[in-house]
Structure 1
Amino acid sequence: MRFVLAIVSFVVGLLLVGLAVGQRTVFAPPSSLVAQSTAKSSAPVTVIPGTTLNANPGYQEINVRGSGDVFAAYGTTSDVQAWIGDAEHTTLRFDAQDGSLTGRTTGTDTSVPDPKGSDLWYQEYDGAGQFTVRLPQDVSVVIVGDGEDAAPSDVSVTWPRDTATPSVGPLLVAGGLFLLGGIALLVWAVLHQRRGRGPRRRSGGTRPPRVRASRRAAAAGAQVPSRGRRGRRAFVAVPVLLVGALTLAGCSSEYWPQGGAASPTPTATATGAADQAEPVAATKQQITRIVQRVASVAKRADAARDATLAAQRFTGAALELRKANYTIRAKDSDVDAPPAISADEVCVALPQQTDTWPRTIFAITAADCSAKTAAPQALTLTQETARDPYKVAYDVSLEADAQIPTLAPTSIGAALLAANTKLLTIAPDQVATAYADILSKDTASEYADLFAVQDDALRKTIGKAYKDKKAKALPDTAKIEYSSEIPDDGAVAFATDKAGALVSADLDEVEKVTPTASGAEVNTEGAVKALSGVDSSKKGISATYGVQVLFYVPPVGSDEKAVLLGFTQGLTAASEVQ
């Protein structure tokens, strides 16, 4: 009976261990779920929304194939939709019943522009292939061919499957216990049997002891295998196998039930994305990439004096200054090129809080943010529509001792204040007008009390003292007149942490030199001569200097004054007086 129980225990143990091993081999669940697109459409764009990507948990492996041009990128869903606009596009959804991706086509336009290099994308992939991401619900993938033909239709998304088998551990342990029990029963049965076969007394006469054949063979010198060795080997192999199985079971949490409530899966985020209450125009990673692209275009345009190339990344006052510089340098090689834009480090990245257009971002760049070897540059960039690149509207060299006020983190961004807001000591759209008056009248200006005098290098450069000195240096046969022109809707104001604002603005300082005596002429030189193309004139010469400024303007009710943080100025126009 004991042998029967041992055999039954062994059989049950082996069955349990075999079942456990089978769950990790024959009966193991698939390691991934692959959903293949079944959509056939002529639309030039295919979109995989964040909701589709998160239809199953885990990372998303996206595979895109196509015979022609293949491009894929991802960005916030709102940005992707804005870039697509009215273009015909196929939106892929996950069909849980069929385990496939089904498409729905909407839109009317039959083509889209080249999506490569768009400032909206978090990341982009050029060419067919596979990429793995873990995107949240509000980030979508856009797939485009050449922009006119149908987008690649061979698209699949793969999600990892939960391959945990929590019953493996308990089954292995239970099987091990049964095997150990079988061993114990077997040992008990063997010992009991041996005790039952012990020596007994015989009633008759004595008989000589029987010598077994094995003993006789041994006495004759033959080698006889030890009895029971094979059984002992098998007896040892079972515990070794059992210990190995139990050790394997203890190596992975996938083999055991997890007690308590399941831990929530962390929310997936795209590279560069951040959790925030308000949407922002761009992330730190995007702003850094935008600045690098701007710096690259500026370097090539400045070297080639190519205004058309510069217009790809510059606009407004910043573009006018470069265009004039290119014209001047074409005729006068001694004139310096505009200061190069450094993209080595982005010291400050402040996006506007918005998900609509136009959009604005503010950045401070330098070769080394911690060093003072070169003046950092403050860039104010705008994006008119979703399909336009960001362009530099203001490129300002910061003062050496400029103290930038505390700003919000990049992930939070800042509000763009209205040009006529009453929340500041002076409205942003009045900053240029007021400061132009100070450059003309200095302390006699009605706005003098609103602006700090200390460390204002621009006043020393083109202020009233400079103007008076230049007027006195003219001969009696000529006179000089100064005036200012303020562009409409030019000011950009970013809110700071303490209710103040960073205000970027521009103004044009016009110098008009005219003769006062009959027959007198006004001679030109340097940049004015190169830009105007006039050597001398009896009518006079008008020169316009564009001035870009960056101010910190305190909140209304504050005792602080507006502080000039930086400026850039240069000749932008010159001509004969008409």
Structure 2
Amino acid sequence: MRRTRMAAVGAMLAAALLAGCSEEPAPTLTPPPVPEYAPPAVTEEHAQEILDDVELTILEADAAGDAELLAPRVTGAAQEFRRAEYNLASVSGGESGPKKLWTDSALTVVTATDGWPRSILAVSQPTAGDTRRLLLGLVQDGPRDPYRLVAWSSMLPSATTPTFPAASVGTAPVTADQAGLSATPTEALTWLAASATDIESEGSAHFADDPYRERVRQELADLKQAAEAAGEVSWEWTPGEIVFGVGTADGGALVMGTLDTVMTMRKTIDGAKLNLGGEWAWFVGGDPVDAAVTGTYKTMVTLYIPPAGSEDLIQLVGAERVMTGAERVE
């Protein structure tokens, strides 16, 4: 009888519990939010290993003075820039050599995307005997391709790097026509080219002051003054292309691009002498100019572009220039 009562009580309790459960809604599983982009595919440690491989390739190419040896780890604008430095070392008889590049990183930024290309930005530590910080842009074009250096520049003394998302989170890739910025990277590069020698240009209003363009303008003024007794000097800057871009934590972008420059010195006063020296003489000799001489330069630049709606100005963060050639014009 006791067992029967216990069984009955147990049955009634089970029925009550089942009835209670049936009246409550089933729990709903809420999945985590889908991130805007995939997690970064490269850790900081792996990124530094990649950077070390890039540096080793550069050292080997520098020792041989052969730009073709750069191809496994250096490409595009970076390879052509280094080729110009090797050529300058050759025509100068060793007086001018390629600037030292190193990749020990103080800051590493990795894009987080499930597609390609993928990018790594590194800001180097200063090294022994050189207080510069280098801005290094690397790109992986496809899943079977290595990361290659596509551009670099020396960080300007007065510049600061913007804030980036943590490397464990990653950042968004940025294209040449990226929307959502105060200007597209292509527009910013065009404005920079116009403002390099003309402080009154429309582009100047979009840029914060920087020591690099001040130095360029002073250089042009000094050349004009030195040449005025014999002729005239002109300088034309044209935008190249955007080769690298990553997003910043505030919704802006850090981008790298190229500029091309043609400088012309023309003799306009009969009987005067327009003499050449330095890099110009390495390419065309030191004889006075009879008619005119033109020199070409390539510059790699790094820009910070604020997000759309910001009152901040575009900043030139880094720059690197090399003379690529010169020729006499009759």
Do the structures match in fold with TM over 0.5? Answer: yes
Equivalent residue for 1:299, pick from 44, 59, 63: 59
Structure 2 counterpart of 1:438: 195
Structure 1 counterpart of 2:214: 460
Does the CA-based 8 Å contact 2:156-2:212 persist in structure 1? no
- For residues 111-510 of structure 1, the aligned pairs below 5 Å read 278-333=38-93, 335-343=95-103, 345-367=104-126, 374-442=131-199, 444-453=200-209, 456-463=210-217, 465-487=218-240, 489-510=241-262
Structure 1 counterpart of 2:12: none
Q: Percent identity?
A: 29
Q: Report deviation, 1:536.
A: 5.2
Does the CA-based 8 Å contact 2:152-2:300 persist in structure 1? yes
What is the distance in 1 between the residues matched to 2:302 and 2:194? 16
What is the distance in 1 between the residues matched to 2:245 and 2:120? 11
SS at the partner of 2:302?
A: strand
SS at the partner of 2:298?
A: strand
SS at the partner of 1:341?
A: coil
Does the CA-based 8 Å contact 1:276-1:411 persist in structure 2? no
SS at the partner of 2:202?
A: coil
* Higher relative contact order (CA closer than 8 Å, sequence separation 6+): 2
Flag structure 2 segments of 5+ consecutive residues without an equivalent: 1-34
What is the distance in 2 between the residues matched to 1:545 and 1:353? 35
**Normalised TM-score (structure 1):** 0.47
Q: Deviations for 1:3-55, whole angstroms, at most 9, x for unmatched residues?
A: xxxxxxxxxxxxxxxxxxxxxxxxxxxxxxxxxxxxxxxxxxxxxxxxxxxxx
What is the distance in 1 between the residues matched to 2:120 and 2:287? 43
Does the CA-based 8 Å contact 1:428-1:492 persist in structure 2? no
Does the CA-based 8 Å contact 2:37-2:114 persist in structure 1? no
Q: Which runs of 4+ in 1 moved over 4 A?
A: 517-523, 532-537
One-letter identity of the residue aligned with 2:101: I
What is the distance in 2 between the residues matched to 1:393 and 1:318? 5
What is the distance in 2 between the residues matched to 1:535 and 1:307? 31
Q: Deviations for 1:414-435, whole angstroms, at most 9, x for unmatched residues?
A: 1122322331122101122111
Structure 2 counterpart of 1:546: 298
Does the CA-based 8 Å contact 1:363-1:378 persist in structure 2? yes
Q: Deviations for 1:406-456, whole angstroms, at most 9, x for unmatched residues?
A: 1112222211223223311221011221112111211x1212222111xx1
Q: Report deviation, 1:533.
A: 6.2
SS at the partner of 1:486?
A: strand
SS at the partner of 2:295?
A: strand
**Normalised TM-score (structure 2):** 0.80
Aligned-residue CA RMSD in angstroms?
2.8
Distance 1:541 1:291, change over 3 A: same
One-letter identity of the residue aligned with 1:282: V
Does the CA-based 8 Å contact 2:110-2:167 persist in structure 1? yes
One-letter identity of the residue aligned with 1:287: A
Does the CA-based 8 Å contact 2:173-2:245 persist in structure 1? yes
Q: Report deviation, 1:466.
A: 2.8
Does the CA-based 8 Å contact 1:324-1:531 persist in structure 2? no
What is the distance in 1 between the residues matched to 2:146 and 2:329? 38
What is the distance in 1 between the residues matched to 2:111 and 2:325? 32
Give the number of the structure whose alpha-carbon radius of gyration is greater.
Answer: 1
Q: Deviations for 1:270-300, whole angstroms, at most 9, x for unmatched residues?
A: xxxxx99614353222211111111112122
Does the CA-based 8 Å contact 2:227-2:274 persist in structure 1? no
Distance 1:393 1:277, change over 3 A: closer
